[in-house]
Structure formats: structure tokens, C-alpha cells
A = this chain, B = another copy of it.
Amino acid sequence: MAREIDLLWGPRASPRRGPKPKLSREAVVGAAVALADAEGLEAVSMQRVAKELGYTTMSLYRHVDSKEDLLTLMGEAATGNAPPEPREDGDWRAGIEDWADATTRRYRAHPWMVFVQLSGPPSGPNGLRWMEAGLRELVGAGLRSGEALEMLLLITAALRETIRMEVEMGRAAAEAGTTLPESERDYARALRAVVTPERFPTLSRMLEEGVLDQEPASPPPEGGQPGGPAEGLDFGLQRILDGIDAYVRAKDGDARGA
């Protein structure tokens, strides 16, 4: 965790002797990111990255200590250093929505990101910039630092896991030669065969109402697949924002009252 900070901020002292390196860490990470973007994270093996660059497998280890480190570096690189700017109007709700939207778009642009194991909160320059941007909005909403951190981690966790599921479902659907909404309908159909009203009253009422069969009401967000678990992110985020709002109001009320 602390060593991750060294990895991502470390000065990487340039050597004073020996042949000029033709490869570089940046080239290795860049090739790996390009490969993951094109063919998914499971295509990223040390051998494959090396082949992509026209070098031998072992040459990569001169620039990266291990595959794990490479993955961490890839994550930091794909994060980018351009989180949403502070809003002029100071509207914290819109600010957090922007942040969540931007994060979702980032994940959708590099779907493999959500499959890279996080070993803690962000550590690299880019990750921390995003964290700063999110915290700024939550503190602006009236939360204390610690509360803002906790909320931001929770929101990020929900986004990551939801997008992960979306990607996984999309992959499975593509593999089966269908679309995501279609395979969702298949899922609903298969569920109906096993979900009995006695054992699963709520669930079976839900299936009767056709919740999983409906065409999505809203058009899919740009770049996103229609349907899938991310459909519900917006509703959920709104409830979270409502909850923050209620909490901050109550706190202010207390403060005034005391």
C-alpha cells in the first residue's frame, strides 16, 4: 500500500552506465493498456505484451518488477489525470453526479480497469486527482473529511462492482450470440421456472410484473450497453444523494438548535 505509492510516484533514477535502454516503462505500460483495450485483460500476458512490442518476454522485467506491478501501472495510466473540474455554480449534487458519470465513462472506455485488483484507496497521481475531485464535492455538500472519504469509497465500490457485472454479462451475452437485454429476458424466463410464489413471494411478484423483461425506459447512456445492472445506478445514486442531503440538513439543524 505504501510501496504502491513508491511504485507510482517513485523517481526511477536513470542509470549512469550500460547500453541505452530502447524499451521504457512507459512503452511497456502503453502497449499493455492498448492490448487490454483491444482484447481484454485476459489477453495481457507478459509474453503477449512483449510480442506486441517486438521484444522477448524477459525484457519486460527490466522495466517492471512483476506482472502485478504492471497491472497497477496500467490502472493508474488508464485513470487519466482529468477528473471533472469544480463547478462554477457550487451545486454539489450535480458535482457528484458529474463525478460518477465521468467515472462510469472512464470504466466503460477501459472495461478491464474494474478487473484490476485494488490494494487500497488510490495512490498514484491520477488516482489521487480523481479522489480529490470527488472529496471536494462531498465536503462541499457539508460532510466532514472522514465522512466524505467513507461516502466516496462506497460510491466508487458500487460503481466498480456494478460495471464489472455489466461487463461480465455483456461478455456472456456476446459469447452466446445475443444482446444483453435479450439474455436478461432469457434469465427472467429461466427464473420463472424455478421461482415459486411460496418460497419466493417477493421475487415471483417481481417476475409477474415483468421487471426484467421490459425494454429499458431510458435510452442507453452513450457508450454503455442498454440494459444490465448499470440501469439502476442512476436511481441508486439519487437515493444516496438524498441521504447525504438529509444528513447534512439534520446536522445543520442540530447545530443551529444547540
Give me the interface of A with B, judged by CB distance under 8 Å.
1-2, 5-6, 9, 117-121, 123, 125, 128-129, 131-132, 135-136, 139, 145-151, 153-154, 156-158, 160-162, 164-165, 168-169, 172-173, 183-184, 186-187, 189-191, 193-195, 199-203, 205-206, 209, 211, 229, 231-233, 235-236, 238-247
Judged by DSSP, the binding face of A is helix
Q: Is the CB of A169 within 8 A of B241?
A: no
Q: Is the CB of A239 within 8 A of B240?
A: yes
Residues of B contacting A150 in the complex (Cβ-Cβ under 8 angstroms)? 231-232, 235-236
Q: Is the CB of B158 within 8 A of A154?
A: yes
Q: Is the CB of B132 within 8 A of A201?
A: yes
Distance of A113 Cα from B253 Cα, bound (Å): 42
Q: Is the CB of B200 within 8 A of A149?
A: no
**A128: which of B132, B173, B195 is its contact (CB, 8 Å)?**
B195
Cβ distance A253 to chain B, nearest Cβ, rounded Å: 14
Residues of B contacting A200 in the complex (Cβ-Cβ under 8 angstroms)? 128-129, 132
Q: Is the CB of B190 within 8 A of A5?
A: yes
